């Protein structure tokens, strides 16, 4: 193999950048993916109850029932409204309230005396996620008030036990933090593979790749040019998304080194670009490439740990996901962002992703000329 010419790789890459700069739809797609798409994926899930309508049927009219009503406030719940038992069916049918809590007569007296008490919670489950989460919130609120109320009257017997939970790395359990990083990784994977694979197919469909191959240019130089040029675009988009969307709009704190995160991202972009070139050599048309994207990229996004933890997947699937660079990328990305991991902790995953990228690039080069010959 002849020596790689850095100047040749550079000028081929600048040609890719000029071609991309003229593709307005692709530029808009990149901006949308790393901006609006990441933001909506992180903030649109609604991991907490938000402004839920709640009413009390207070048949006890006691200090305890009023204390429970005072627990519900913005931003999770609207102010508690009091309705009569006869209005329950109509209010639920018309969708006025998501939750209706029925407090029976004598509830405070039974609570003070340490008797078993029952409350009825009616839930409009048409808003399934908010209904499920809200029911848990209400149960916690009510249990907390009753526990404190009984302790005030010292009517409980025996020793009480409290479970104190301390969350590491994400004290408030904000799911938007997790979804933001997972969404950024998903968009990164998808865009890198699309750009590199589509660039190769675009050369083939226009016939310019044959012109390149008759020149004193190697397939390795063509591949490297596509990797660095498209990778540079994605890295710039990644940095902008990290600064303005993740840390800016979503206020996600970065516990570890941003430079280390950027280094790991560059390594992963190289690996994902190699996958894109590999898929581009297998496909003959853009339609085939789109089908390969569905078959390859979607499993990468679903099984890499972004949508669900790897540990929650079947054991045999976990073995398969080890061969996905995206799994290792999300793993060390979360370690750096959330836990502040340093290089001594993540270097093995860095090396694994780099080896996978080299392997895919080597396989792409082996198939490169063969695919050109088959296309002629």
Beta sheet of 81-82, edge-to-edge order: 81-82, 54-58, 99-103, 120-123
The predicted structure's pLDDT at residue 125: 72
Annotate 251-310 with DSSP letters as a single string. Answer: -----S-HHHHHHHHHHHHHHHHHHHHHHHHH-SSHHHHHHHHHHHHHHHHHHSSSSS-G
Question: What domains appear along the chain, each with residue ranges and CATH number?
Answer: 6-45+174-375 (no CATH), 54-153 (3.40.1710.10)
**What pLDDT was estimated at residue 2?**
52
Q: Which residues contact 353 (CB under 8 A, 6 or more apart)?
A: 264, 267, 268, 271, 325, 328, 329
- From 76, 137, 147, select the one nearest 101 (Cα to Cα): 137
**CB contact at 8 A, 285 and 295:** no
Phi-psi label, residue 251: left if phi above 0, alpha if psi -120 to 50, beta otherwise? left
**Cα dihedral 355→357→360→364 (10° resolution):** -130
What is the per-residue pLDDT for 160? 46
45: Cβ contacts below 8 Å, ≥ 6 apart: 175, 176, 179
For the chain, 376 residues long, give each residue's pLDDT as a single digit of tens. 456 778 888 888 898 888 888 888 889 989 999 998 898 888 765 556 777 888 999 888 888 888 888 888 777 888 889 999 888 888 877 778 888 999 889 888 887 777 777 888 888 877 666 777 788 888 888 888 888 877 766 544 444 445 455 666 777 667 788 888 888 998 998 899 988 888 878 777 776 666 666 677 777 787 788 888 888 999 999 999 999 999 998 888 898 899 999 999 999 999 999 898 888 888 878 888 888 888 888 888 888 887 777 777 788 888 888 998 999 999 899 889 988 889 999 999 999 999 999 998 888 888 776 655 554 4
In the numeric block, the tokens 């340490």 are attached to 114
β pairing state of 81-82 and 99-103 = unpaired
pTM (whole model) above 0.85: no
């Amino acid at each position: 193999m002849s020596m790689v010419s850095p100047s040749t790789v550079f000028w081929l890459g600048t040609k890719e950048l000029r071609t991309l700069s003229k593709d307005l739809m692709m530029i808009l797609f990149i901006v949308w993916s790393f901006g609006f798409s990441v933001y909506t994926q992180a903030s649109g899930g609604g991991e907490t109850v938000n402004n839920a309508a709640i009413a009390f049927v207070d048949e006890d009219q006691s200090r305890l029932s009023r204390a429970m009503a005072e627990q519900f406030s913005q931003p999770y719940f609207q102010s508690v409204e009091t309705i009569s038992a006869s209005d329950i069916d109509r209010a639920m049918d018309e969708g006025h309230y998501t939750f209706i809590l029925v407090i029976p007569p004598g509830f405070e007296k039974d609570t003070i005396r340490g008797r078993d008490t029952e409350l009825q919670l009616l839930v409009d489950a048409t808003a399934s996620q908010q209904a499920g989460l809200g029911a848990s919130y209400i149960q916690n609120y009510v249990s907390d008030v009753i526990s404190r109320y009984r302790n005030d009257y010292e009517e409980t017997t025996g020793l009480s036990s409290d479970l104190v939970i301390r969350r590491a790395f994400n004290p408030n359990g904000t799911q938007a933090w997790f979804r933001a990083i997972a969404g950024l990784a998903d968009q990164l994977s998808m865009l890198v593979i699309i750009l590199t694979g589509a660039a190769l197919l675009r050369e083939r469909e226009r016939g310019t790749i044959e012109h390149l191959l008759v020149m004193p240019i190697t397939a390795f130089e063509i591949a490297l040019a596509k990797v660095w040029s498209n990778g540079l675009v994605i890295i710039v988009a990644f940095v902008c998304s990290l600064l303005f969307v993740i840390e800016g709009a979503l206020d996600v704190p970065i516990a570890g080194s941003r430079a280390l995160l950027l280094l790991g991202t560059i390594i992963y972009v190289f690996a994902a670009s190699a996958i894109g070139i590999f898929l581009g050599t297998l496909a003959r048309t853009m339609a085939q490439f789109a089908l390969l994207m569905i078959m390859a990229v979607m499993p990468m996004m679903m099984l890499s740990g972004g949508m669900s933890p790897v540990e929650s997947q079947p054991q045999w699937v976990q073995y398969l996901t080890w061969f996905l660079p995206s799994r290792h990328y999300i793993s060390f990305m979360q370690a750096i962002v959330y836990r502040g991991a340093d290089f001594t902790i993540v270097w093995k995953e860095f090396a694994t992703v780099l080896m996978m990228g080299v392997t895919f690039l080597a396989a792409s080069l082996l198939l490169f000329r063969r695919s050109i010959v088959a296309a002629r």
